[in-house]
């Protein structure tokens, strides 16, 4: 990748995504599905637009993932006052099955964080912020 830094960055990203998918597999979820479930659990019902803006991905990506989550029974869609807009919210199944999944993910995240000191984590956040800014 020419530069060592970029090469490493992309590799670690794949490593983290793959590991997260492993953790989510027993729950029948993938990482991008999880990120939407988690967001809905935090924020309550959201429109597609607010989801993709928050996650910083394109709208079609979210459409597809929400479709899948809907067909799996995790979320439902409902028209909002503005009839162009659709509100997405967790179903009963979504709400009920959330806590154990959250626990698994949290435990995975802590395992990774254990490899870094608190200082490392703060430094990493600071450096990541600089990249895009």
Partner DNA sequence: CCGATTTATTTACCTAATTAAATAGTTTAC
Partner DNA sequence: GTAAACTATTTAATTAGGTAAATAAATCGG
Piece of 1-9, 61-69, 99-107, 120-128 that binds DNA (CB under 7 A): 61-69
Please, which residue, 83 or 129, has the CB nearer to a second copy?
Answer: 129
Q: At what angle do helices 92-114 and 4-24 cross, to 10 degrees?
A: 140
The distance of closest approach from Cβ of residue 70 to a second copy in the complex, given in angstroms and rounded to an integer, is 21
DSSP state of 26: G
Piece of 21-29, 73-81, 89-97, 99-107 that binds a second copy (CB under 8 A): 99-107
Are residues 92 and 98 in contact, defined by beta-carbon separation less than 8 angstroms?
A: no
Which whole-number Å values give the CA distances from 37 to 23, 48, 118, in the listed order?
15, 13, 28
The distance of closest approach from Cβ of residue 62 to DNA in the complex, given in angstroms and rounded to an integer, is 7
Give the integer Cα–Cα distance in Å for 46 and 55.
Answer: 12
User: What residues make contact with a second copy under the rule CB under 8 A?
Assistant: 1-6, 8-17, 20, 35, 38, 56-57, 102, 105-106, 109, 112-113, 115-116, 120-121, 123-125, 127-133
């Amino acid at each position: 990748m020419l530069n060592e830094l970029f090469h490493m960055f992309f590799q670690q990203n794949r490593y983290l995504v793959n590991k997260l998918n492993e953790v989510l597999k027993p729950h029948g979820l993938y990482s991008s599905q999880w990120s939407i479930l988690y967001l809905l659990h935090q924020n309550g019902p959201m429109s597609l637009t607010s989801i993709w803006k928050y996650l910083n991905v394109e709208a079609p990506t979210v459409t597809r993932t929400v479709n899948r989550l809907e067909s799996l029974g995790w979320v439902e869609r409902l028209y909002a006052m503005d009839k162009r807009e659709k509100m997405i919210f967790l179903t009963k199944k979504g709400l009920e099955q959330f806590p154990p999944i959250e626990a698994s993910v949290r435990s995975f995240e802590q395992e990774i964080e254990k490899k870094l000191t608190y200082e490392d984590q703060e430094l990493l956040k600071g450096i990541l912020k600089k990249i895009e800014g």
